[in-house]
Chains A and B, each alone.
Chain A
Amino acid sequence: MTSQTFKQLAAIIVFVLISVINIHAQQPSADDMLNQVARLKRIEAMQPDSIGPKYQLALQSLNFAVIYPHAPQTENVMAQAEQTIAQMSKMKHADQSDLCTLTGFLYMVRIVQNPAQNGQRYYIDVMQNFEKALKLNPNNTLAQQLQQKFFEGMRQQTGERSEQ
């Protein structure tokens, strides 16, 4: 399991950043989010052998990409996320459920970037990664939330009415 201590530290930083951002606007600006990703990268550089900072870095990078799928910096941020996930997967104590969640999220962002082309191409990867994440850890709330979001998006895309 990703280091709990670090998760708490990272959560505090993220809450601070989010609260600062919230003072200014409901939706964080691209610059704010990029600065947030940059700070997480610095924290990751402080602890290169820890999984926690890498997890947060990948997650926030994907958060930026899903909110700003066509920003000029998005491809670089996505590449960073992909690279970080690959680094995590080589680490001995990486939580497989977290890894599947991030990988599913990565494919999900690709679909958001180009639903017409990537929807058909990657939706199975999204589904399978979230399913696997939840199979490995049924209490993985991020995987649950992302899977639910993905279902909603898919229903909209396929024209099916949302189940109440």
Chain B
Amino acid sequence: MSYFCGMKHRIAHIILMLMAVCQVTAQSIISGTVSDGKEPLAGANVFVLGTIDGSLTDSLGRFSFITSQTGEVTLKATFIGYDDFMLTADICQLSNLSVLMKEQAASIEEVVVTASTFSFGKSDNFKTMNALDVVMAGNSCGDIVAALQTLPGTQMVGENGKLYVRGGESEECQTFVNGMHVLVPYSTNTENSAVRGRFSPFLFKGINFSLGGYSGEYGQALSSVLPMETTDAATSDKYGVSASLVDWNIGGTKAFSNSSLSFNAALTSMGLYDRLFTQHRDFTRPYRKLSGEAQYKKEFNASSVLKSYVGYDLTSVGLHTDGRNLSLKEHNIYANVTHRATIGHGCTFFTGIANSSVFNDIDNAQTAGDHYRNFRNEVHLKAEVRKVCSDVLKLSMGIEDYIRNSRLRFAPYRYDLDYNLLAAHADAQWRVVPRVFLNMSARAEMMKTDWLLMPRATLSYIPNKHLQWSLVAGRYSQTAADDELAQSQNSLTQATADHAVLSMQYQSKATLLRIEPYWKKYHHLPLMENGIWQSHGYGISRGIDVFLDLSFPIKRGNGVSKGALTTTLSYSFNDSKRLYLDYAEERTPDYASRHNLRLTAKYAVGKFVFGLAESYASGRCFPVGKTPHYNSVDMNLTYLLSPKVIVYTSLNNIMGRTNIFRYDANGSPITASRDRFFYIGIFVSLKNNKAYDISNF
């Protein structure tokens, strides 16, 4: 207290002295108005540079202040979103000024071109969803793939649950964790049963789902890429458990001074659920999956970060079908290590290595007594350097190598397939003029001795922070599936796809509207001609995606926020045709539906979050006919029981509609194994004191 009294006296003396000094010096008045040419700018900071003499402009853009400076001075005006204004003149000329400020052109580092991409996490300032939003979307039940299917451009393919984007096959969408490729990002199941993504959304701090037109960094994906970035090293210990009717989970994180070690173990079993609720399939052994994950992250310093991840899944299921007992077992191991370091002069250097190994054992796969054995392995090596050259230019270039092998034993058929794919890319992001940005990239790939060069470009016009226009075009490639490559004696060339996308996005505080017409042309798709695989297939896919996100704050009478209602609308129109695989003529692929519509609403109030989703897809075309349309109404509820306990429940297909996903070769309809799916889970944090944190990472 005495310190403050002493301080006050000293401050009073300083003020008095300053005032006395001011009295004996000459004073000038600086005045004027500040505008952007259209309207006055209220709150602009106008001052004499090198002093604290200045004032803020009023609601009419007016300013006026006294300064004791004499002679030539520099007047400066600053306002967020505008270039600084500077004027050097004699003090007596600085009255009744008319200051004109120019809107600031975003630098290349500030600009996030959103064309064809949905970002979750913190990458797009404060206007994006995080993992929890993804999980609470519609009927996801914590599955990242299911959650992404609420976005436009994705197709409803209920019989396997995988991602199908803009008329492309599910294999055309590739997943990357910390920039490294994942060979098999899905869990496995028997035919006509939906699978889930193998990664928890809580592993990631950023998810970027690109539906086409992506940069040169990503390859081996004809339609889309899903790059995800794991969270940073944890700052405190965490331990948690969760339980539901179908899965049980335990995990935790130990935080050290500049590193953290995490583990997670989960058992998923449909055994209990199958006993409680009826279903249409005859499982001889319920679906079971045992998963283990570990992560180690170390921050050597603020500019050098090491991340590592290893995950293992063992899946088994038995099904009585067509008079035989099918037995499936899969081991899926994925590991990666990445290091990113800032090496000065605006340069960042990235290196990474990833390994995916997948073993599939299926007994009685097609006929009683047969044995299907498949082992697939991929090593992905990558190095990349990025440099921010200036406010208008950013460069990156990298090199990567995919080393793949596949062994199949399915008597009498068998193969051993080994190949290597070397790739290099260079990217340049350039602010051509203020508000106009050009991203040019080129990717070159070499498989065996065949080179493929793929140019890509994005031209964006960003007139202000609310609006973006982009034109995206590029060529993309992908090798054929292992079975086709092996059967063709490794003679199939890479399939390519040319993308063209026009994107318009409007974003305000509570509204996001995006409209994207697109066009894709496929070349060199694998096609069976006279019993021989040839690269003669082709196809086209065109359509339009519309996404609308509206948020409504709900306030009490006194204006205090009570809750928030978030609604989304996703509509996709797709017209695609292909001649590939065993097609006899060009036709619409059977996974593609012409119209897809999803409506979601999420209402957060107090400790509750309610979610409601409606999904509609028009019928799909098969040689035996067209399926009826797909329709499902889903709901979910999250309740914060205490800061450490969360209850999540959801019910899919409330109306119990029997949706026909497809027709098999005999013309029999394929439906879901059960009409409705009920999920209830409880998530408990044992160590940390954080509410809503159901992540153990």
Where the two chains meet, the residues of A that have a C-beta atom closer than 8 Å to any C-beta of B are 12, 15-16, 19, 34-35, 38-39, 41-43, 45-46, 73, 76-77, 79-80, 82-83, 96, 110, 114-121, 123-125, 127-128, 131-132, 135, 151, 154-155, 157-160
Q: Which of B73-124 contact A (CB under 8 A)?
A: 76, 78-81, 122
Given contacts A120-B692, A128-B235, A131-B236, contact A79 B81 (CB under 8 A): yes
Chain B residues with CB below 8 A from A41, complex form: 45, 47, 78
In contact, B643 and A160 (Cβ under 8 angstroms): yes
In contact, B693 and A116 (Cβ under 8 angstroms): no
Q: Shortest beta-carbon distance, A149 to chain B, in Å?
A: 15
In contact, A160 and B562 (Cβ under 8 angstroms): no
Q: Shortest beta-carbon distance, B329 to chain A, in Å?
A: 37
| Interchain CB contact (< 8 A) of A38 among B56, B133, B257, B642 | B56
Where the two chains meet, the residues of B that have a C-beta atom closer than 8 Å to any C-beta of A are 7-8, 11, 14-15, 43, 45, 47, 49-56, 76, 78-81, 122, 125-126, 129-130, 132-133, 232, 234-236, 257, 302, 551, 553-554, 561-564, 566, 604-605, 607, 609, 640, 642-643, 689-693
Q: 17 A–B contact pairs at CB < 8 A?
A: A15-B11, A38-B55, A42-B54, A45-B47, A46-B50, A76-B79, A115-B561, A116-B561, A117-B564, A117-B566, A120-B609, A121-B129, A121-B132, A123-B691, A128-B234, A135-B257, A158-B607
Q: How far does the alpha carbon of A149 sit from the alpha carbon of B693 in the complex, in Å?
A: 19
| Interchain CB contact (< 8 A) of B691 among A19, A38, A79, A158 | A158
Q: How far does the alpha carbon of A158 sit from the alpha carbon of B608 in the complex, in Å?
A: 11
Q: Shortest beta-carbon distance, B549 to chain A, in Å?
A: 12
Q: How far does the alpha carbon of A160 sit from the alpha carbon of B126 in the complex, in Å?
A: 28
In contact, B80 and A76 (Cβ under 8 angstroms): yes
Chain A residues with CB below 8 A from B551, complex form: 117
In contact, B564 and A16 (Cβ under 8 angstroms): no
Q: Shortest beta-carbon distance, A17 to chain B, in Å?
A: 10
Q: How far does the alpha carbon of A119 sit from the alpha carbon of B605 in the complex, in Å?
A: 11
Q: Shortest beta-carbon distance, B510 to chain A, in Å?
A: 10
Q: Shortest beta-carbon distance, A6 to chain B, in Å?
A: 14
In contact, B607 and A114 (Cβ under 8 angstroms): no
Chain A residues with CB below 8 A from B11, complex form: 12, 15-16, 19
Q: Shortest beta-carbon distance, A20 to chain B, in Å?
A: 9
In contact, B52 and A39 (Cβ under 8 angstroms): yes
Chain A residues with CB below 8 A from B563, complex form: 116
Chain A residues with CB below 8 A from B130, complex form: 121
In contact, B132 and A120 (Cβ under 8 angstroms): yes
List 3 A-B pairs, minimum CB-CB distance, nearest first: A131-B235, A117-B564, A116-B564
Chain B residues with CB below 8 A from A15, complex form: 7, 11
In contact, B640 and A42 (Cβ under 8 angstroms): no
In contact, A123 and B43 (Cβ under 8 angstroms): no
In contact, A76 and B8 (Cβ under 8 angstroms): no
| Interchain CB contact (< 8 A) of A123 among B49, B81, B234, B692 | B692
Q: Shortest beta-carbon distance, B318 to chain A, in Å?
A: 40
Given contacts A110-B126, A116-B562, contact A19 B8 (CB under 8 A): yes
Q: How far does the alpha carbon of A133 sit from the alpha carbon of B308 in the complex, in Å?
A: 24
Given contacts A12-B11, A16-B14, A116-B554, 12 further A-B contacts (CB under 8 A): A16-B15, A34-B43, A38-B56, A39-B52, A43-B52, A45-B76, A76-B81, A116-B553, A117-B553, A121-B132, A158-B642, A160-B643
In contact, B642 and A117 (Cβ under 8 angstroms): no
> Which partner residue on chain B sits nearest A133 by CB separation?
B235
Chain B residues with CB below 8 A from A123, complex form: 690-692
| Interchain CB contact (< 8 A) of A42 among B43, B47, B235, B691 | B47
Chain A residues with CB below 8 A from B56, complex form: 34-35, 38
In contact, A121 and B47 (Cβ under 8 angstroms): no
| Interchain CB contact (< 8 A) of B553 among A16, A114, A124 | A114
Chain A residues with CB below 8 A from B693, complex form: 124
Q: Shortest beta-carbon distance, B3 to chain A, in Å?
A: 11
Q: How far does the alpha carbon of A151 sit from the alpha carbon of B643 in the complex, in Å?
A: 11
Q: How far does the alpha carbon of A38 sit from the alpha carbon of B51 in the complex, in Å?
A: 12
Q: Which of A124, A128, A151 has the most CB of B within 10 A?
A: A124
Chain A residues with CB below 8 A from B76, complex form: 45
Chain A residues with CB below 8 A from B236, complex form: 127-128, 131
Q: How far does the alpha carbon of A80 sit from the alpha carbon of B81 in the complex, in Å?
A: 9
Chain A residues with CB below 8 A from B564, complex form: 114, 116-117
Q: Shortest beta-carbon distance, B137 to chain A, in Å?
A: 14
> Which partner residue on chain B sits nearest A119 by CB separation?
B692
In contact, B691 and A116 (Cβ under 8 angstroms): no
> Which partner residue on chain A sits nearest B109 by CB separation?
A86
Q: Shortest beta-carbon distance, A33 to chain B, in Å?
A: 11
In contact, B78 and A154 (Cβ under 8 angstroms): no
Chain A residues with CB below 8 A from B122, complex form: 125
Q: Which of B76, B80, B607 has the most CB of A within 10 A?
A: B80
Q: How far does the alpha carbon of A76 sit from the alpha carbon of B126 in the complex, in Å?
A: 14
Chain B residues with CB below 8 A from A46, complex form: 49-52
Q: How far does the alpha carbon of A145 sit from the alpha carbon of B511 in the complex, in Å?
A: 35
Chain A residues with CB below 8 A from B562, complex form: 116
> Which partner residue on chain A sits nearest B52 by CB separation?
A42
Q: How far does the alpha carbon of A121 sit from the alpha carbon of B45 in the complex, in Å?
A: 33
> Which partner residue on chain B sits nearest A12 by CB separation?
B11
Q: Shortest beta-carbon distance, B225 to chain A, in Å?
A: 25
Q: How far does the alpha carbon of A82 sit from the alpha carbon of B236 in the complex, in Å?
A: 25
Q: Shortest beta-carbon distance, A138 to chain B, in Å?
A: 12
In contact, A79 and B52 (Cβ under 8 angstroms): no
In contact, A42 and B45 (Cβ under 8 angstroms): yes
In contact, B132 and A116 (Cβ under 8 angstroms): no
Chain A residues with CB below 8 A from B234, complex form: 128
Chain A residues with CB below 8 A from B81, complex form: 76, 79
Chain B residues with CB below 8 A from A155, complex form: 643
In contact, A42 and B51 (Cβ under 8 angstroms): yes
Chain A residues with CB below 8 A from B133, complex form: 121
Q: Shortest beta-carbon distance, B133 to chain A, in Å?
A: 7
Q: How far does the alpha carbon of A35 sit from the alpha carbon of B643 in the complex, in Å?
A: 40
Q: How far does the alpha carbon of A29 sit from the alpha carbon of B561 in the complex, in Å?
A: 22
Q: How far does the alpha carbon of A121 sit from the alpha carbon of B125 in the complex, in Å?
A: 12
> Which partner residue on chain B sits nearest A38 by CB separation?
B45
Q: Shortest beta-carbon distance, B630 to chain A, in Å?
A: 31
> Which partner residue on chain B sits nearest A99 by CB separation?
B302
Chain B residues with CB below 8 A from A76, complex form: 43, 79-81
In contact, A154 and B607 (Cβ under 8 angstroms): no
Q: Shortest beta-carbon distance, A155 to chain B, in Å?
A: 8
In contact, B43 and A73 (Cβ under 8 angstroms): yes
Q: Shortest beta-carbon distance, B602 to chain A, in Å?
A: 10
Q: How far does the alpha carbon of A3 sit from the alpha carbon of B551 in the complex, in Å?
A: 43
Chain A residues with CB below 8 A from B78, complex form: 41, 45
Chain B residues with CB below 8 A from A158, complex form: 607, 640, 642-643, 691
Q: Which of B8, B43, B49 has the most CB of A within 10 A?
A: B43
In contact, B561 and A38 (Cβ under 8 angstroms): no
Chain A residues with CB below 8 A from B55, complex form: 35, 38
Q: How far does the alpha carbon of A19 sit from the alpha carbon of B56 in the complex, in Å?
A: 21
Q: How far does the alpha carbon of A38 sit from the alpha carbon of B53 in the complex, in Å?
A: 10
> Which partner residue on chain A sits nearest B236 by CB separation?
A131
Q: How far does the alpha carbon of A121 sit from the alpha carbon of B691 in the complex, in Å?
A: 11
Q: Shortest beta-carbon distance, B4 to chain A, in Å?
A: 8
Q: How far does the alpha carbon of A161 sit from the alpha carbon of B642 in the complex, in Å?
A: 11
| Interchain CB contact (< 8 A) of B604 among A79, A116, A151 | A116
Q: Shortest beta-carbon distance, A65 to chain B, in Å?
A: 13
Q: Shortest beta-carbon distance, B233 to chain A, in Å?
A: 9
Q: How far does the alpha carbon of A35 sit from the alpha carbon of B44 in the complex, in Å?
A: 11
Chain A residues with CB below 8 A from B53, complex form: 42
Q: Shortest beta-carbon distance, A141 to chain B, in Å?
A: 15
